[in-house]
Amino acid sequence: MNQSNIPANNRVAIIDCADYRQELLYKSLEKAAELAGGFDVRGKTVLLKPNIVYDSAPEKAIVTHPLFLEAVIRLVRDSGAKRILVGDSPGLQQPGFIAKASGLGETARRNGAEWVDFTQSKMEITRSDGKVVKHFTVTGAVREADCIISLPKLKTHQLLQFTGAMKNLFGLIPSVLKSAMHVRLPNRDAFAGMLVDLNAAVMADYAFMDAVVGMEGPGPGSGTPRKIGLVLASSNLLAIDIAACEIVGYPPARIPVCREALSRGIWLKDVSEIEYPAIKPQDAALPDFEKIPFKSAGNQLAEMVFPRFFRKLRERFTPRPAINPAVCIRCGNCTRICGSRAMSLRGEGKDQRVLIDYSVCIRCYCCHEICPVKAIDIVKPPLWERHNTGGLQRA
């Protein structure tokens, strides 16, 4: 694990890659690593961390594509790595998780890497200068690794607007321990601060971003696949996230994780420090990319200024999860991942329904991320209910 507080450089290589054909991917990634610099895995044990919100077919664009993982494994192996570990921990990971539906587990094994169950071994990391969280429990694979490489998929995110290389490291925290973080830190800025603390504690060495096909709209689990045709590489995780934000049209200073990380000055002090040795973000910009709207400045101010009672009233106006009973398959995933216990599965047979107690719901949107059939939408409360303070349940 990298103990340095200073990334190798500020270069981000953005390279064209039209599809997931293996040789095209490999050459694109090889070129990206060469131009970005800082890619040194010779003789090292390398942990590759793809993104698996939940185990799903690659064409849904929810997970890092298995062919992208295969090309990275080949590149890491050809670059002299001694040992390659691959793993992730979705929010509802059970022991023995092998990433079967996505094909990521089989891809790792077929290419000579070791698939790691993140729940089988844990380690504690303490960083005394953490601003929001000083202590983390993460997978023991972090201890084994000399080098950690984040493999995110470029996607939108209901809570944080954007998810990339830095957010991807949240999966190093095993299974439902992540839900506890949402309950502890329901404010999105505090949650972003925790993610920055985690990145500072782990300090991954490199990132390759799968932007061949990304996700727009209501991501990270219920959006729409969007062909982007790019791969990105950098040893600076904040820099690669900023580049991706600019490609899809998000001002980095308005993305909670980027804004907080910039304020720390660990990875970058200013966006202008980033170097682009290949394609520049503005030359790859997608002006019609469907983004998640920002919260109003007034809502952000209210979170910081108003007492708890008024913040609870404000929650009546905050977008919230809503179940579509006609689509819901009653799998119970949303009730199991809900750290605040706001969701419950009630009734029997045809009358079975998921109920949500909005007086308890913290609007973390984990249920929306984890739903395998897109039965959960994020909607504004109806006008008639915005003045009701009784904590009603609605399905």
C-alpha to C-alpha distance for 342 and 320, rounded to whole angstroms: 12
**Could you tell me the CATH number of the domain that includes residue 304?**
3.30.70.20
The verdict on 239 and 262 lying in the same domain is yes
The verdict on 279 and 303 lying in the same domain is no
The verdict on 264 and 330 lying in the same domain is no
Bridge partners (DSSP) of residue 126 are 135
Residues 6+ apart with CB under 8 A from 278: 13, 14, 15, 31, 32, 35
Which tokens belong to 45? Answer: 């044990």
Is 8 part of any domain?
Answer: no
pTM for the structure as a whole: 0.85
C-alpha to C-alpha distance for 110 and 105, rounded to whole angstroms: 9
For the chain, the domain total comes to 2
The verdict on 326 and 224 lying in the same domain is no
Is 1 part of any domain?
Answer: no
The verdict on 267 and 331 lying in the same domain is no
C-alpha to C-alpha distance for 18 and 228, rounded to whole angstroms: 8
For residue 301, what pLDDT is reported? 45
Is 356 part of any domain?
Answer: yes
Q: Which of 251, 284, 317 is the last residue of a domain?
A: 284
C-alpha separations of 90 from 42, 178, 279 in Å = 29, 9, 33
Is 346 part of any domain?
Answer: yes
The continuous run of DSSP H or E covering 148 comes out as strand 147-151
The verdict on 94 and 29 lying in the same domain is yes
The string of DSSP codes covering 79-112 is TT-SEEEE----TTPPTT---TTTSHHHHHHHTT
The verdict on 390 and 255 lying in the same domain is no
The verdict on 301 and 196 lying in the same domain is no
Is 30 part of any domain?
Answer: yes
C-alpha to C-alpha distance for 190 and 306, rounded to whole angstroms: 16
The verdict on 275 and 383 lying in the same domain is no
Q: What is the pLDDT along the chain (395 residues), one digit of tens a residue?
A: 554 455 559 999 999 999 999 999 999 999 999 999 999 999 999 999 999 998 999 999 999 999 999 999 999 999 999 999 999 998 776 778 999 999 999 999 999 999 999 999 999 999 999 999 999 999 999 999 999 999 999 999 999 999 999 999 999 999 878 888 888 998 889 999 999 999 999 999 999 999 999 999 999 999 999 999 999 999 999 999 999 999 999 999 999 999 999 999 999 999 999 999 999 999 999 999 999 988 643 344 444 444 455 455 556 678 889 999 889 999 988 988 887 889 998 988 888 989 999 888 888 888 988 898 999 998 988 765 544 433 334 44
Looking at the chain, list the stretches that DSSP marks H as alpha helix, in order from N- to C-terminal side: 22-36, 66-78, 104-110, 141-144, 165-168, 177-184, 188-202, 237-248, 256-264, 297-305, 308-314, 333-337, 366-370
* Domain membership of residue 372 as a residue range: 297-394
Is 258 part of any domain?
Answer: yes
The verdict on 239 and 368 lying in the same domain is no
For tokens 């983390």, the residue is: 136
C-alpha to C-alpha distance for 168 and 149, rounded to whole angstroms: 10
Q: Which of 257, 284, 311 is the last residue of a domain?
A: 284
Indicate the SS3 state at residue 234: strand
The verdict on 178 and 36 lying in the same domain is yes
Bridge partners (DSSP) of residue 214 are 226
For residue 8, what pLDDT is reported? 56
Q: Which of 284, 314, 345 is the last residue of a domain?
A: 284
The verdict on 280 and 315 lying in the same domain is no
For residue 394, what pLDDT is reported? 43
DSSP for residue 380:
P
For residue 6, what pLDDT is reported? 52
State the pairing for strand pair 206-216/83-86: unpaired
Is 190 part of any domain?
Answer: yes
For residue 142, what pLDDT is reported? 98
The string of DSSP codes covering 123-147 is EEEE-TT-SS--EEEEETHHHH-SE
**Could you tell me the CATH number of the domain that includes residue 46?**
3.40.50.11440
Bridge partners (DSSP) of residue 215 are 155, 225
Count CB atoms within 10 A of the CB of residue 4: 8
Is 292 part of any domain?
Answer: no
